[in-house]
Amino acid sequence: EPEVTQTPSHQVTQMGQEVILRCVPISNHLYFYWYRQILGQKVEFLVSFYNNEISEKSEIFDDQFSVERPDGSNFTLKIRSTKLEDSAMYFCASSDGINGYTFGSGTRLTVV
Amino acid sequence: EDQVTQSPEALRLQEGESSSLNCSYTVSGLRGLFWYRQDPGKGPEFLFTLYSAGEEKEKERLKATLTKKESFLHITAPKPEDSATYLCAVWGSGYALNFGKGTSLLVTP
């Protein structure tokens, strides 16, 4: 069964550092998303990406965040200057626009 | 603003003891309601999409139903391997899914 692949599975970074979280969506999907889940809280939408541009973003997705599809297969989330409160599980998801999203297994980001 | 409320927050069942999880929602223009299963430290795993009131879908011991205000996930004769957090999410006017906090299900032998 096709799956969404995320790397790394766990990232520890110092406050103020930049991190890049990587995702390989399902190959025939056109819609890509990032969500996050702070420990013990609900899954929250960050951003959606379609046709090489951001189609929607939440209030959480401020200027420290950016997304990119650098080639035909990868989709990345960059956090420019990490804060302690950015510690969370970050999930990438993709969709064909008709059926349910497929989520990756996530990257656990720990900011120290 | 879209709202999703799941109940109960936690549920403990004996193996074989059937029950239902509830997802109440308010959304302007529901395009879909999704159920996901999430195991600890993992991403949400897709279970069902429901598009309109009256729709039902089944998969093994799970059955999802939808009304105009809520959705139920019925679990028939659960097994310990059904233990997980079950997430409900609504898809409204935008691209985003709005998730509930989930129901943590524990099935004991």
At which residue do the structure tokens 């069964």 appear?
A1
Name which of B44, B46, B49 is nearest A43 (Cβ-Cβ): B44
- Looking at residue A72, its pLDDT comes to 77
Helix ranges (DSSP H) in A1-112: none
Residue B90 CB contacts under 8 Å (≥ 6 apart), including other chains: B2, B4, B25, B27, B30, B32, B33, B34, B97, B98
Cα nearest neighbour of B99 on chain A: A43
Q: How far apart are CA A38 and CA A41, in angstroms?
A: 5
Q: How far apart are the first and last CA of chain B?
A: 41
Q: How far apart are CA A41 and CA B35, in angstroms?
A: 17
CB contacts, 8 Å: B34 with chain A = 100-101
- State both tokens at B84: 């997980």
Which one of A34, A42, A50, A102 makes the best mutation probe of the B interface by having the most chain B beta carbons within 10 Å?
Answer: A42
Q: In Å, how far is A16's CA from the nearest CA of chain B?
A: 25
- What's the pLDDT tens digit per position in A67-112? 999 887 899 999 999 999 999 999 999 998 877 789 999 999 999 9
Chain centroid to CA A70? 14
| Cβ atoms of A77 and A34 closer than 8 Å | yes
User: Burial of B53 by CB count in 10 Å (0-12 exposed, 13-18 middle, 19+ buried)?
Assistant: middle
| Cβ atoms of B108 and B15 closer than 8 Å | yes
A107-111 vs A10-13, strand pairing mode: parallel
- What's the pLDDT tens digit per position in B11-63? 999 999 999 999 999 998 899 999 999 999 899 999 999 999 999 999 999 99
A88-95 vs A31-37, strand pairing mode: antiparallel
CB contacts, 8 Å: A106 with chain B = 41-43
Mean pLDDT score across all residues of chain A: 94
- Looking at residue A88, its pLDDT comes to 97
- Looking at residue A1, its pLDDT comes to 78
| A30 SS3 class | coil
